[in-house]
Structure 1
Amino acid sequence: MSRKPSTSHFLLLLIIIITVAVSAARTSAQSTSLCPSSSVNPEFCPINCFRPDPVCGADNVTYTCGCDDALCAGVRVVKLGPCDA
Structure 2
Amino acid sequence: MNTENIDTRDMPDEIEFIKLPEVLRLTGVGTTKLYDMVKTGVFPAQVKLGERSVAWIKAEVLEWNRDRVALARKQALSHALAS
**Greater RCO (CA < 8 Å, at least 6 residues apart):** 2
Q: Which has the higher Rg, Structure 1 or Structure 2?
A: 1
| TM-score normalized by the length of structure 2 | 0.31
| TM-score normalized by the length of structure 1 | 0.30
> Which has more helix, going by share of residues?
2
